[in-house]
Amino acid sequence: MEYDRPLFYHVMKYAAASQRDTVDMVSGNPDWGPPDALREGLIDYADSDPSQFQYPPSEGISPLRREIADRRGVETERVIVTNGAGEANHLSMATGLAAHSGTEVLLADPVYPYYSGRTTLLGATPTFVPVDEAGQLDPDDVRERASEETALIVVNTPNNPTGAVYGPDAMTEFVAIAKANDALLVSDEVYDHFDYTGEFESALSIDSDHRVVTNSFSKSLGITGFRVGYAVLPERLIEAVRTRHMLTNVAGSRPAQRAVYRALRETDRSYYERNRDRLRERIETFTQTLDAIGADYTRPDGGFYVLARFEEFPGTLENTKRLIDEAGVAGMPGEAFGQTRADWLRFALVTPRVEDATTRLEAFVSGRS
Amino acid sequence: MEYDRPLFYHVMKYAAASQRDTVDMVSGNPDWGPPDALREGLIDYADSDPSQFQYPPSEGISPLRREIADRRGVETERVIVTNGAGEANHLSMATGLAAHSGTEVLLADPVYPYYSGRTTLLGATPTFVPVDEAGQLDPDDVRERASEETALIVVNTPNNPTGAVYGPDAMTEFVAIAKANDALLVSDEVYDHFDYTGEFESALSIDSDHRVVTNSFSKSLGITGFRVGYAVLPERLIEAVRTRHMLTNVAGSRPAQRAVYRALRETDRSYYERNRDRLRERIETFTQTLDAIGADYTRPDGGFYVLARFEEFPGTLENTKRLIDEAGVAGMPGEAFGQTRADWLRFALVTPRVEDATTRLEAFVSGRS
């Protein structure tokens, strides 16, 4: 039961308390704001009849479920709308553990810390599979570690924190490994709108009753605080997941679902493209500076983050604080994500101040040399 | 893991599909609508900066937590804002089971079905304590069944479905029994604004680290679909509950929390009093008719519901459907709530059509005699 609160909070608090102006590159909160239709959806909703303020269907309001199902090319019945991808991931992991005999969860290292936290909370045991130099999770490594003890394989593509995007071959392999070991692949795809290579492949494209796809509108619509996500479930798990959702949360929040539905219907492609292009430019700006100052880094194929390593400045919590105090740049210590990137720092590029950060990092590094 | 979806949904679906106009007395959705300030809060929120659309603190936005803490006379640190009282109850039950050695959960019979559903989901065993004729849960009966196997005692006051309100003596006893058996009392008080006797006593007034109080704004502000609730926790459970909340839901929905905060600040007592008076009048109207047609019933001291029993017409699902088809009145079958009220029907008085329902019940009963 005991579990440290994610380091995120610790670092954000430290940065907020700093006397120095700090560029916040800690967490993955989009800075560009939601589309207009989302705001309009909330305003319209506010005038609704009293009945519209009451419980939505537990599995989500019907128009939103249908819209998601249409977009993903699945039956509406397979879609459950959740309190963000966080709940979708929790439900999928809990249900997958209950539905399979093993108690082992295969996770990449480095890993988004909530996956390992949930593993522990649910009484299961994590087995970490180190990613390769490029940040990719090699299916051969996953296959080697999978066994009848494996109940779940949890992957995240595009990846937080490595920026890796798993292509069709890797996804097909992950699903096959889950099936071969009577396990469930849980594929968290919340950064799917931020693929810079065109290589991204959703686990949905591989038809199997051994995979769940979780997603949300937190990143794609710039609304991490709305808590509207979803899972696409295989037939065999629908009833169990719906029951668990109902008994955990009863239902999600209706104003948020209504606003997301409106935004999905009325927001055109340019909104999504603009945000993806913006991230791409920031990545270019940031990695150019990392090149210039001689830092190691992994160029992200997708997502919001750059993992970087500075010579003789390992990504410990202590050094993260030093970077806040001495450079005015707040990142996340690599140790928050596991062992293999413990000496790296993660920088989230969801701030308009990426250029400020690069100037400060240059000054910091030249001051140390 | 397998658990029937609550009968609520089944009955509501049946009523909705009926050719006949039906007075919906199935579920506890307030029909009177939220206060104006809640709608205004949503509209104002819709114009916020992008940062206000991002993750709220996991434990809830600070102004709302402080407002709740002030109103309940507790430290802010003890309050966690949840996705409705449903999540608060789930978190409290899960954490209480993990923190105590037993695996038994004491529940009243009849019981709000989510409590027993959660007990099963969490791998614990329910022990049902029958209520007395008046619908009251007798502390002596609870004490008799409590043992070292007991991890949780879950009570609901004002009660759904019986309408019982537990006074100071009973609440003091419940807390003492929990303490004596190294268990946790979880007191769900979502109907606290609907006490018609003045006898209601929150478990909060009994200082103990063996009790959690859960509540929400679903009923008091007429917004069951917003999913804003809270738990007030003893010191020893704060960290474990916060961790579980974070790993289950990450956070609650920010627009809903913002709107609730505004509504709490700007809604005066007359809103609450008007709704309470309205319910009181409906109870009077409804029970007068039950008297007139010779039905048994329990007069509620609080809450939204009247349990009634008709001669030779037990409250089965089949008869519930007959009442929809033949009388145009939809209630809930007593069997949904356990054994002791299995031949009763529960009627929710959160509809402006209580008089229609009484007319129809009179005609139905006279047609059968």
| Residue with the two structure tokens 């494209």 | A205
User: B297, B293, B364: which is closest to B328 by C-alpha?
Assistant: B364
Q: Are B351 and B30 in contact (CB under 8 A)?
A: no
Identify the pLDDT of residue B12.
84
Q: Which of A33, A45, A247 sits opposite B42 (nearest CB)?
A: A45
Please name the residues in contact with A4: beta carbons below 8 A apart, sequence gap of 6 or more.
none
Q: How many other C-beta atoms lie within 10 A of the C-beta of residue A280? A: 14
Q: Which 203-222 residues of chain A touch chain B by CB within 8 A?
A: 222
pLDDT at A6: 67
- The span from the first CA to the last CA of chain B, in angstroms, equals 45
pLDDT digits (tens, 9 = 90+) for A122-172: 999 999 999 999 999 999 999 999 999 999 999 999 999 999 999 999 999
Q: Would you place residue B320 in the very low, low, confident or very high pLDDT band (cuts 50, 70, 90)?
A: very high
Q: Residue holding tokens 């070292």?
A: B148
Higher-pLDDT residue of B315, A6: B315
Distance between B248 CA and the closest CA of chain A, angstroms: 6
Coil, strand or helix at B345:
strand
Over residues A195-217, mean pLDDT: 97
Cα distances (angstroms) measured from residue B310 to each of A197, B292, B320: 69, 12, 12
Query: How far apart are alpha carbons B245 and B92 in whole angstroms?
Result: 10
What percentage of chain B carries pLDDT values higher than 70? 98
Query: Residue A309: how many CB atoms within 10 A of its CB?
Result: 17
Give the span between the Cα atoms of A79 and B196, in whole angstroms. Answer: 42
Nearest-CA distance from A253 to chain B in Å?
Answer: 5
Q: Which of residues 251-290 of B touch A (CB under 8 A)?
A: 251-256, 259
Which of A1, A30, A254 is closest, CB to CB, to B98? A1
What stretches of chain B show up as alpha helix (H) in DSSP? 7-17, 36-46, 62-72, 84-99, 113-121, 139-145, 168-180, 238-249, 254-266, 269-292, 317-322, 354-368
Are B12 and B28 in contact by the 8 Å Cβ rule? The answer is no
Residue A192's nearest CA partner among A222, A159, A170, A161 is A159
**Which CATH class, in words, describes the domain spanning B36-266?**
alpha beta
Q: What is the mean pLDDT of residues A223-250?
A: 97
Pairing of strands B332-333, A79-82: unpaired
Pairing of strands A305-309, A104-109: unpaired
Under 8 Å between Cβ of B79 and B60: yes
d(CA A346, CA A309): 9
Q: Which of residues 19 through 58 in chain A touch B, CB cutoff 8 A? A: 27, 29-34, 39-40, 42-43, 45-47, 49-56, 58
Of A52-56, A184-188, B12-16, where does mean pLDDT reach its minimum?
B12-16
Is the CB of B247 less than 8 angstroms away from the CB of A84?
no
pLDDT in tens, B141-160: 999 999 999 999 999 999 99
Burial of B270 (0-12, 13-18, 19+ CB in 10 A): exposed
DSSP state of A303: S
Q: What's the one-letter identity of residue A42?
A: L
pLDDT of A44 reads 98
Q: Does the structure show a pLDDT above 90 at A19?
A: no
Q: By the 8 A CB rule, do A50 and A248 touch?
A: no
In chain A, what residues touch B40 (CB-CB under 8 Å)?
46
| Strand pairing report for A345-348 and A305-309 | antiparallel
Nearest Cα of chain A lies from the Cα of B312 at a distance, in angstroms, of 34
Chain A partners of B256 at a C-beta cutoff of 8 Å? 253, 255-256
Burial A176-191 (b: 16+ CB within 10 A, else e): bbbbebebbbbbbbbb
pLDDT level of residue B5 (50, 70, 90 thresholds): low
pLDDT at position A2: 34
Question: pLDDT tier at B4 (50, 70, 90 boundaries)?
Answer: very low
Calculate mean pLDDT across residues A14-32. 92
Q: What is the pLDDT confidence band of residue A4, given thresholds at 50, 70 and 90?
A: very low
In this prediction, residues B64-76 reach a mean pLDDT of 98
Q: Write down the pTM of the prediction.
A: 0.96
Residue of B nearest to A113 (CA): B247
Does the beta-carbon distance from A53 to B254 stay under 8 Å?
A: no
Please answer whether residues B191 and B304 qualify as being in contact, where contact means their C-beta atoms are separated by less than 8 angstroms: yes
Task: Give 3-state DSSP helix, strand, coil % of chain A, rounded to 5.
Answer: 45, 15, 40
Instruction: Write down the pLDDT at residue A5.
Output: 58
B254-266 and B36-46 helices, crossing angle to 10° = 140
**CATH number of the domain located at residue range(s) A7-34+270-368 in this protein:** 3.90.1150.10
pLDDT recorded at residue A16: 86
Averaged confidence pLDDT in chain A: 95
pLDDT in tens, B37-53: 999 999 999 999 999 99
Residue with tokens 């290579």: A197
Q: What is the pLDDT of residue B2?
A: 34
Q: Which helix (H) or strand (E) holds A139?
A: helix A139-145
Phi, psi of B240, rounded to the nearest 5 degrees: -65, -40
Q: pLDDT tens digits for A70-93?
A: 999 999 999 999 999 999 999 999
Among B81, B272, B243, smallest CA distance to A253 is for B81
Q: Which sequence spans correspond to the domains of chain B? A: 7-34+270-364, 36-266
Q: Look at A46 and B39 and tell me if their CB atoms are within 8 Å.
A: yes
- Burial-class residue A257 by CB neighbours within 10 Å (0-12, 13-18, 19+): buried
Q: Measured between beta carbons, which residues in chain B are less than 8 angstroms from residue A99?
A: 1
Contact partners, residue A217, CB within 8 Å, separation at least 6? A223, A226, A228, A229, A260, A263, A264
CATH 3.30.310.50 fits B7-34+270-364, yes or no: no
- For residues A339 and A130, give the distance between their C-alpha atoms in angstroms, rounded to a whole number: 8
- Other CB atoms within 10 Å distance of the CB of residue A241: 24
Closest CA to B10 of B364, B333, B315: B333
Q: What is the pLDDT of residue B3?
A: 41
CA distances from A91 to A82, A115, A304, B13, B90 (A): 9, 12, 25, 25, 14
Q: Assign B6 a pLDDT band (cuts: 50, 70, 90).
A: low
Whether B160 contacts B305, CB under 8 Å: yes
Chain-centroid distance, C-alpha B271: 20
Query: What amino acid is encoded at A69 in this protein?
Result: A
